[in-house]
Chain A
Amino acid sequence: MIWVEILTRSIGVFLLTFLLVRLMGKQNIARLNPFRLVNYLVIAVLAVLLTFGYIENPWFGLFVLGVWALVPVALDYLALKSKRFHDWINGKGTVLIKNGKIMEENLLQERFSGEELLRELRKRNVFNLTDVEFAVMESDGSLDVLLKSDRKPVTPHDLGQPVAPQAETQTVILDGNILDEPLATMGLNRAWLKTEIAKAGVAIENIFLGQVDASGDLYLDLFDDAIRIPQPKVKERVYASLEKCRTDLASYALATENMEAKAMYAKDADKLAALLAEIKPFLLR
Chain B
Amino acid sequence: MTVCSQVKQTAATLEGAQGILRLYLTQTQDEGSKAVIEKSINTAGEIIGDLQARIRDLEAQENQYKGF
On A, residues with C-beta under 8 Å from B are: 164-165, 167, 186-187, 214-217, 234-235, 237-238, 241-242, 244-245, 248-249, 252, 255-256, 261, 264-265, 268, 271-272, 274-275, 278-279, 282
Instruction: For chain B, give the interface size range.
Output: 20 to 34
> What is the number of contacts between chain A and chain B, taking CB atoms within 8 Å?
82
- B36's partner among A186, A234, A278 (CB-CB below 8 A) is A278
**Nearest CB in chain B: distance from A42 CB, A:** 50
B13 to A279, Cβ gap below 8 A?
no
How far, in whole Å, are A186 and B28 apart by their CA atoms in the complex? 9
Q: Write the chain B residue with the least CB distance to A269.
A: B47
A245-B13, A245-B17 given as contacts; is B27 within 8 A of A282 (CB)?
A: no
Given A252-B10, A271-B47; 10 other pairs, CB 8 A cutoff = A167-B30, A216-B28, A237-B20, A242-B14, A244-B13, A245-B14, A248-B10, A252-B6, A268-B50, A275-B39
B29 contacts the other chain (CB 8 A): yes
Q: How far is the CB of B10 from chain A (nearest CB, A)?
A: 4
Interface residues of B in 20-68 (CB under 8 A from A): 20-21, 24, 27-30, 32-33, 36-37, 39-40, 43-44, 46-47, 50-51, 54, 57
* Interface, chain B (partner A; CB < 8 A): 3, 6-7, 9-10, 13-14, 16-17, 20-21, 24, 27-30, 32-33, 36-37, 39-40, 43-44, 46-47, 50-51, 54, 57
